[in-house]
A and B are shown apart, each in its own frame.
Chain A
Amino acid sequence: MLLSVMKYFRGYVYVRLTGYAPERFLNLCGNHDILIWNLKPCEDGYCFCISVQGFRKLKPILKKTRTKITILKKNGMPFQVYRYRRRKVFAAGLLLFCGLLYYLSGFVWNIEVNGNSYLSEEVILDFLSEENASFGTKISDIDCAGLEERLRSRYSEVIWTSIKIYGTKMTVDLQENLLPEEQYEQADDTVYDIVAAKDGVITEMITRSGTPCVTAGAEVKKGDLLVGGSLPILNDDGEVAQYLYRSADADITARVVYTYEDEIPETYVKKVPTGNQKTDYQLTVMNYTIKNPFFHTKEGLYEIVTDMKQLHMTDNFYLPVYLVKKTYQEYENVEQTYTEAEVKKLASENLKNYISDLEEKGIQIIEKNVIIERKNQKYVAKGTIEALESIVSYQPTEIIEITSEERQPTDESD
């Protein structure tokens, strides 16, 4: 295989040998290290292939053996190049292709992001495009070390990054701090009180730090102070000498009442599909849309489902080209009336959804009391839901300054 490729690039000729002593000619060729292949006897002589280099060395041998050689066919690249020497545009195209390939290989065409879990790939790609290091940027213009530093300082979650460029591919490896976010909040110096997030009656309260201001059973309003972050220190006279500050920390559960209201009109409009359906295809490039000129719909009501697909070159190099598929489904409006059983079912389903939404937030339902009433062509579901939930919300503690003149004498007296 390799040998035949070599032969092709060097060029070879297919020749016919005739004359007095062809066998001797062959033996002399062997002795002079001239390669001969595809040797075959043909009418009054032999036919074989010989490289161009070998052919040039044949002259003395031909003379010695009194044979004659005729070229039957020329093969290989040197001959083809000579044959196509006038095709200048083709040669220019070939050159242009090579040049373009070389030029375009100097840009980033693929970006791979590894190791991200909090930050999405889009965030990293947006960051890169803001830094002018996104797709299509000249590789020589990208400062990888600088990018790494800026990425780390921009996103505090990132504790280690490595940006490498191999060929036309940029690889962004990063390591995120996997400790939860709350630990950062604790680290800052501000002292927090706990205040009520909602109105309710406290059922349970466990204070770990801070000064509790309420007890279980107390009724609180939204914004009431539950656990203070300041601890007053009294002097001998029973006056406040100073305050010690420490963030409040407590689990507080309260009984909270939610009011629930839902309205269901008696009549409703139902969309009944007629079964007529048509599909249209469009192509959107940048902000221009190329529409199908042969697509028409009859007048009527249609539900249009649009399906857009963005073309991308690699996994994440999205081009501003969209393939749009629009499905038109014709429908008719039909007015219908609910029966009582249907309304009940609908109402209880709505209530169930509402409750499951609450439960998803970690709220425990204790009691629900909802009644359905019919009121001028409407069904109204009304009631209350009692629930247990945490009403802890944090608020910075007010720092009370005690003037130093007031404090110092007491310090000295100790």
Chain B
Amino acid sequence: MKKNHKEKLVNSLELPKDLMLGAAIVTVTGRREVLISNYKGILEYEDSFIRVQTKNCRILISGSHLAIDYYTNEEMKITGFIESIGYEN
């Protein structure tokens, strides 16, 4: 319930959710490019899928010929042929 209160507060004050709640931002450009920011780390990485840990959940990006263009503490850029983007708890 505490979490809900915080969410309500952030919502009503219109604060940025990525900063306040640690929500990941996933920007998808077409079918070949995904930009993920505000994440914790890479869990698994293969040619056909990438699993990224964020504060609240894990993001699974699957496809083929996946490559990481660059990888820094703030954001990473994934290119390749993307088939699905999923969220796991």
Docked Cα-Cα span, A201 to B40, in Å, equals 115
Instruction: Say which size band chain B's interface belongs to.
Output: 10 to 19
Contact B69 A23 (CB under 8 A): no
Contact B46 A27 (CB under 8 A): no
Across the interface, B67 reaches (CB within 8 A) one of A22, A27, A29, A40, namely A40
- Which A residues from 380 to 408 make CB contacts under 8 A with B? none
Shortest B26–chain A CB gap in Å is 17
- Which A residues from 1 to 43 make CB contacts under 8 A with B? 22-23, 26-27, 29-31, 33, 35-41
Docked Cα-Cα span, A23 to B53, in Å, equals 11
Across the interface, B42 reaches (CB within 8 A) one of A27, A33, A37, namely A27
Docked Cα-Cα span, A31 to B53, in Å, equals 14
Contact residues in B for A31 (Cβ distance below 8 Å)? 73
Contact residues in B for A36 (Cβ distance below 8 Å)? 68, 70-72
Contact residues in A for B70 (Cβ distance below 8 Å)? 35-39
Contact B42 A26 (CB under 8 A): yes
Docked Cα-Cα span, A309 to B54, in Å, equals 75
B43 within 8 A of A: yes
Contact A29 B43 (CB under 8 A): no
Docked Cα-Cα span, A37 to B69, in Å, equals 5
Docked Cα-Cα span, A54 to B20, in Å, equals 31
B18 within 8 A of A: no
B83 within 8 A of A: no
Whose C-beta in chain B lies nearest to the C-beta of A25?
B42
Whose C-beta in chain A lies nearest to the C-beta of B39?
A30
Contact residues in B for A26 (Cβ distance below 8 Å)? 41-42, 45, 71
Across the interface, A41 reaches (CB within 8 A) one of B40, B46, B71, B73, namely B46
Contact A33 B44 (CB under 8 A): no
Contact A30 B45 (CB under 8 A): no
A-B CB pair tally, cutoff 8 Å: 50
* Most chain B beta-carbon contacts within 10 A, residue among A23, A29, A46: A23
Contact residues in A for B46 (Cβ distance below 8 Å)? 41
Shortest B73–chain A CB gap in Å is 5
Across the interface, B72 reaches (CB within 8 A) one of A23, A33, A48, namely A33
Contact A41 B69 (CB under 8 A): no
Shortest B80–chain A CB gap in Å is 10
Contact residues in B for A23 (Cβ distance below 8 Å)? 41-45
Contact A41 B42 (CB under 8 A): no
Contact A27 B41 (CB under 8 A): yes
Docked Cα-Cα span, A23 to B43, in Å, equals 6
Contact residues in B for A35 (Cβ distance below 8 Å)? 70-72
Docked Cα-Cα span, A3 to B47, in Å, equals 26
Docked Cα-Cα span, A64 to B42, in Å, equals 17
Shortest A45–chain B CB gap in Å is 11
Contact residues in A for B71 (Cβ distance below 8 Å)? 26, 29-30, 35-37, 39, 48
Contact residues in B for A38 (Cβ distance below 8 Å)? 67-70
Shortest A26–chain B CB gap in Å is 5
Docked Cα-Cα span, A31 to B43, in Å, equals 14
Docked Cα-Cα span, A235 to B42, in Å, equals 126
Shortest B45–chain A CB gap in Å is 6
* Most chain B beta-carbon contacts within 10 A, residue among A33, A35, A37, A39: A39
- 15 example contacts (A-B, Cβ-Cβ < 8 A) are as follows A22-B45, A26-B41, A26-B42, A27-B41, A27-B42, A30-B72, A37-B69, A38-B67, A39-B70, A39-B71, A40-B67, A40-B68, A41-B47, A46-B45, A48-B71
List residues of B whose CB falls within 8 A of some A CB: 40-47, 67-73
